[in-house]
Amino acid sequence: MSRPHPARVLIRRTCLVAALVAAGLSLPAVASAAPSTAYANVPAASDAPAPEATDGDGGVGTLVVNGRPASENYSFLVYTSGCSASLIKANWVVTAKHCPTPSSVRVGSVNRSSGGTVVSVVRAVNHPSIDVKLFQLGTSVSHAPAVIPSTSGAVGTATRIIGWGQTCPTRGCGSAPTIANELDTSIVADSRCSGINGTYEICTNNTNGNAGACYGDSGGPQVRSVGGRWNLIGATSRAGNNNSTCATGPSIYGDLPSIRSWINTQVGGLPS
pLDDT at 83 over 90: yes
How does residue 38 score in pLDDT terms, banded at 50, 70 and 90? low
Conformational region of residue 100, where left means phi above 0, alpha means psi within -120 to 50, and beta covers everything else: beta
pLDDT at 50 over 50: no
Whole-number percent of the chain with pLDDT over 90:
62
Residue range 142-166, pLDDT digits in tens: 999 999 999 999 999 999 999 998 8
The enclosing H or E element of 260 equals helix 260-267
Q: Which amino acid is it at 181?
A: N
How does residue 215 score in pLDDT terms, banded at 50, 70 and 90? confident
Q: Is 45 helix (H, G, I), strand (E, B) or coil?
A: helix
Rg (CA), the chain: 16
Q: Is 269 helix (H, G, I), strand (E, B) or coil?
A: coil
> Beta partners for 225?
230
Cβ atoms 266, 134 nearer than 8 A: yes
- Dmax over CA atoms of the chain, in Å, equals 47
Query: What pLDDT shows up at residue 40?
Result: 45
Q: What domains can be seen in the chain, in order of their start residue?
A: 68-267 (2.40.10.10)
CA distance 14 to 240: 11
Q: What is the mean pLDDT of residues 5-27?
A: 34
pLDDT averaged over the chain? 81
CA distance 82 to 40: 7
How does residue 123 score in pLDDT terms, banded at 50, 70 and 90? very high
The full DSSP string for 120-187 is EEEEEEE-SSSS-EEEEESS---SPPPB--S----TT-EEEEEE---SSSSTTSSPPPSB-EEEEEEB
Cβ atoms 47, 132 nearer than 8 A: no
Whole-number percent of the chain with pLDDT over 70:
76
Most confident of 110-119, 173-182, 242-251: 110-119
Residue range 256-266, pLDDT digits in tens: 999 999 999 99
CA distance 12 to 35: 10
Which range has the worst mean pLDDT, 97-101, 181-185, 206-210, 249-253?
A: 206-210
> Beta partners for 159?
185
Q: Which are the contacts of 69, defined by CB distance < 8 A and separation ≥ 6?
A: 60, 63, 110, 177, 179, 180, 181, 182
How does residue 80 score in pLDDT terms, banded at 50, 70 and 90? very high
Query: What pLDDT shows up at residue 150?
Result: 97
pLDDT at 13 over 60: no
Nearest to 219 by CA among 22, 92, 78: 78
Query: What pLDDT shows up at residue 268?
Result: 98
pLDDT at 82 over 90: no
* 207 phi and psi angles, rounded to 5 deg: -50, 130
Q: What is the mean pLDDT of residues 188-201?
A: 97
CA distance 224 to 244: 27
Q: What is the mean pLDDT of residues 124-153?
A: 98
CA distance 20 to 127: 18
C-alpha dist (Å) from residue 217 to 19, 63, 138, 154, 272: 19, 9, 24, 23, 26
